[in-house]
Amino acid sequence: MTTSLPPASVRRRMMVTGLTRAFALTVGLVLAYFALPLDHLGGVPFWLSLSVGLCLLAAAIVYQVRAILRSSRPAVRAVEALAGTVPLFILLFAATYFVLSETDPANFSTADLSRLDALYFTVTVFATVGFGDITATSETARALVTVQMILDLVVLGAVIRTFVGAVRIARQSSPQEGNGAAPQSRDG
């Protein structure tokens, strides 16, 4: 028995829908980053808020892997998962840098990082560009940037590999669709 693929128009529609959902999720996360009252976290130790954020990120990754495994279209679901996980990771560090700058402007070469400055700095570190216009100047900020750089490698390596592995497992465990029956969605 061979697996039949849906018609090209159906595959395109699924991909467009998946990409649209991924884009909407990314936009929603960025809007939340700019709207949340991060300036109220100044009294919370940055390591505590970062630890809570990283735990939430890990929970989101576990959720995404499970969603990929349950999906009838795991590759499309993996694109959505990646589009949610990477921005969440970047915005988590941007928020941490913003709060760290609010706590003590001497942590960075640019005093009082705005949210956009913090996001820009995080993306330059993530992309390993490091223009040098904003730099970590305190030991605390440098330690945090070092943690981000190490976790960047984890996100780029382990998380993507995990999502790809989940797609492979989901495809191997999915029932054959060549029997003429319409495939049932396992997306939730």
Could you tell me if residue 80 is inside a domain? Answer: yes
Taking the CA atoms of residue 90, residue 149, residue 109 and residue 116 in that order, the dihedral angle to the nearest 10 degrees is -10
Q: Is residue 50 part of a domain?
A: yes
Structure token digits, residue 50: 């970062």
Residue 181 pLDDT level (bands cut at 50, 70, 90): very low
The answer to whether position 181 is within a domain reads no
Number of domains making up the chain:
1
pLDDT of residue 175: 62
CA distance 132 to 142: 13
Task: Tell me whether residue 166 is in a domain.
Answer: yes
How sure is the predictor about 169, in pLDDT bands with cuts at 50, 70 and 90?
very high
User: Is residue 71, in this structure, part of any structural domain at all?
Assistant: yes
Distance CA 128, CA 167 (A): 28
- Residue 45's pLDDT band, with cuts at 50, 70 and 90, is confident
180 occurs within a structural domain? no
Task: Please give the C-alpha separations between residue 49 and each of 15, 17, 65, 91, 123, in angstroms, as whole numbers.
Answer: 36, 34, 24, 13, 20
| pLDDT of 184 higher than 60 | no
In degrees and rounded to multiples of 5, residue 108 shows phi and psi of -135, 155
Average pLDDT over residues 64-93: 92
Alpha carbon distance 183, 170 (integer Å): 14
Q: Would you say residue 186 lies in a domain?
A: no
Domain that holds residue 61: 8-173
* CATH code (residue 109): 1.10.287
Examine residue 178 and state whether it is found in any structural domain, yes or no. no
